[in-house]
Amino acid sequence: MPTPPMGAAVNAPQSLLWTSRKGYDLLRHPQLNKGLAFTLEERQQLNIQGLLPPCFLTQDVQVLRILKNFDRQTTDLDRYILLMDLQDRNEKLFYKVLTSDIGRFMPIVYTPTVGLACQQYGIAFRRPRGLFITPHDRGHVATLLKSWPASVIKAIVVTDGERILGLGDLGCHGMGIPVGKLALYTACGGMKPQECLPVMLDVGTDNEVLLNDPLYIGLKHKRIRGQAYDELLDEFMQAVTNRYGRNCLIQFEDFANTNAFRLLEKYRNKYCTFNDDIQGTASVALAGLLAALRITGNKLSDHKILFQGAGEAALGIANLAVMAMEKEGTRKEEAIKKIWMVDSKGLIVKGRASLTSEKQQYAHQHEEMKNLEDIVRKLKPTALIGVAAVGGAFTKQILKDMASFNKRPIIFALSNPTNKAECSAEDCYNLTEGRAIFASGSPFDPVKLSDGRTFFPGQGNNVYVFPGVALGIVSCGMRHISEEIFHTTAEVIAQQVSKQHLEEGRLYPPLTTIHDVSLKIAVKIVEDAYRNNTATFYPEPEDKEAFIRSQVYSTDYESFLTDSYSWPKEAMKIQSITF
């Protein structure tokens, strides 16, 4: 097989860029392996004739076989392991399966099953994916990045595992989150998987169960904090920029409140970075609220919003909601008065001790109260949003009360996984006589009421946000990510919700349309970036949608036959290539 001309990486099929991979080695490479779909000619040229059974199966037949095996599994954890094994073995087939029915497979590769997988990561662990960086690597993080085989990385998802979903500190076992997130970058947004990198910053864990678990795969000591922690983060961020460029997107995921806001403020104007728990959750929640306004028939500033929770998710949603109210014409000071918060110590009010600066902004003049039922009855909010991972926090009494003083109460139970949801869809619809405008963080089955009406609960999952945001940002080479992007994203998502969807109880587009939603988000981000001079890739493409579509990953197998592809003349002129 001839060596590809220098610079052909932009135009050539991925299969032709791995000319050194032949024989047994090629079959063990997940990005290249096609299993029994290799043709006779490919088997002969690639020296794999005889290494495979003498049978030829198309990719579609291979998908069918995976589906049959998937259906044979008895638990969701087993289904998760089956799909992860497939990802390690045959990457294109893995994504072909995911995209064949994203609504069916997303709850397995991500919430809620990924939470269980992280808890059982020591048992489920098969093959390392991504990079594991520890404080012992201080001074050598750049060397670790060079160990990763791909030199072109456009997106990184990084966690330190301290606040995994609503499950708490899972340490190194939290690596399942970056792996799952990036799988959805590709399945829902079309990002190329070989250009994505999951990273675990293993600084230890304070989880005593894990520290005493012989199957725990991380460092067995308490979490490192303070200066040593910050220096490791600084070195990591700088090493990423030096290795992959200033345009490399770095998504922070599942950091604890103590670090999440601090690191976002520290890095947001220096690197191309965002925090999904703060900004992604805010965007998808705001999208749900904007869609709900089409039912209530008023403005966001007409609502009083009460948050169960005052952590990074609640504060992120609140900040973006304030921005949305300002765009409606409400002064910021008045918008803030529309938002109330409850944390583990009760209602956040002025004069209460030990309030962080972020919480202080939403502290209002009011008596201190601790019981959520009493608080709801006293404040009479029009919207109740749960993001504190306190399962069942929205009691039957609270749901009945919300329905008693609201014609159409807005109730969002956004905590993950499912057992952490503040209420079930069934309770919410039944106890409000079908008048609630409901959304959840984890999926719930449709609910049929006694009067014959059926509702399809909207899932306010961040997957509506981060794949499209990432695709747009990397497509035009943005170097900083503003809050405006997440407001714009929320508007785009809400616009995709039809009148029929709203009548069915949906506040989000069906997951079957997630790829189109991501594309629309990306196109809007790219259009705004060139209009605002925040894009760095030039010349500016005339047809931005076509340009973005050209970046999207294909799940179809490529041909390895040398005669089936001729190198473009443009590629022959380029003098450098990176792998």
Cα separation, 522 vs 539, whole angstroms: 18
Burial class (CB in 10 A: 0-12, 13-18, 19+), 229: middle
Q: Could you tell me which residues are beta bridge partners of residue 459?
A: 440
Q: Assess contact for 190 and 154: CB atoms under 8 A.
A: no
Residue 185 identity (one-letter amino acid): Y
CA distance 385 to 413: 6
Catalytic residue status for 181: yes
Distance between CA atoms of residues 260 and 266, nearest Å = 10
Specify the 3-state DSSP secondary structure of 61.
helix
Distance, in Å, from the CA atom of 192 to the CA atom of 209, rounded to the nearest integer, reads 37
Q: Which of 110, 121, 185, 271 is catalytic?
A: 110
> Is 244 tagged catalytic?
no
Distance CA 73, CA 562 (A): 40
* DSSP E strands, 213-370: 249-252, 273-275, 305-308, 339-343, 346-347
Non-local (6+) Cβ contacts of 108 within 8 A are 76, 79, 80, 83
* Edge-to-edge order in the sheet of strand 155-159: 131-133, 196-201, 155-159, 249-252, 273-275
Of 181, 420, 520, 544, the active-site residue reads 181
Q: Are 312 and 282 in contact (CB under 8 A)?
A: no
Compute how many other C-beta atoms are within 10 angstroms of the C-beta atom of residue 499.
8
Which secondary-structure segment (H or E) carries 437?
A: strand 437-440
Residue 131's beta-bridge partner residues?
199
**Residues assigned a catalytic role:** 110, 181
